[in-house]
Chain A
Amino acid sequence: KAGVTQTPRYLIKTRGQQVTLSCSPISGHRSVSWYQQTPGQGLQFLFEYFSETQRNKGNFPGRFSGRQFSNSRSEMNVSTLELGDSALYLCASSLTGTGANVLTFGAGSRLTVL
């Protein structure tokens, strides 16, 4: 069974640019959640999508957005990049996102903003 796949694994952008990251969940999983991880702030929740709808949102500015497609694949976008957006971006998938379901994480996309 394939795991959660995140692409690209590494990318470098400059301030002001935008970036799109992709997450392919485990087959059959309908919930995808996104996280930002930095050394100072730890693992921070960005948003969760279920059946193409954003179901939950963390405390991030509107420059961070996402979407989910009918095949449950998800993308997140960060516009007008800032130096502070440099981080490891992780996604996790679960069957339906309920408490009994386990979260399975991808390896992450490491973004460096110069």
Chain B
Amino acid sequence: DAKTTQPNSMESNEEEPVHLPCNHSTISGTDYIHWYRQLPSQGPEYVIHGLTSNVNNRMASLAIAEDRKSSTLILHRATLRDAAVYYCILRGMYSGGGADGLTFGKGTHLIIQP
């Protein structure tokens, strides 16, 4: 089973920031937090990942709680092209976390309103 919990769906308006939450209360000290997204009719694509500190890249920001039991993917200014299913997974530092580290769950379906 997936080691993360995400809301089934979220809705946001175009050009506004979006905060996608992920709970991972059983995270271990060596688990990386990864985010991927899947646009319609495409394979999933990497968004961002981090271990302990907040991370920024050209696509998004990842905010990791101090106790690491939750994280938030931040899209700073959503566009219609950001409408996708967003997956949060934990991957172990040394071996990827076994089968659990490759279990994606259902993700959050993000709907962007124009």
Contacts and interface: CB of A to CB of B under 8 A. Distances in A.
A57 B37 CA distance: 23
Given A56-B98, A58-B99, A97-B96, A102 B46 contact: yes
* Dominant secondary structure at the A interface: strand
Interface residues of B, number: 31
Given A56-B98, A57-B99, A99-B91, A105 B43 contact: yes
A98 B96 contact: yes
Interface string A72-114: 0000000000000000001010100111111111111000000
Interface of B: 30-32, 34, 36, 38, 42-46, 49, 51, 87, 90-99, 101-107
Given A56-B96, A92-B44, 18 more contacts: A33-B102, A35-B104, A42-B104, A42-B105, A42-B106, A45-B102, A45-B103, A48-B99, A48-B102, A56-B99, A90-B44, A98-B92, A99-B94, A100-B49, A100-B93, A103-B44, A105-B44, A107-B43
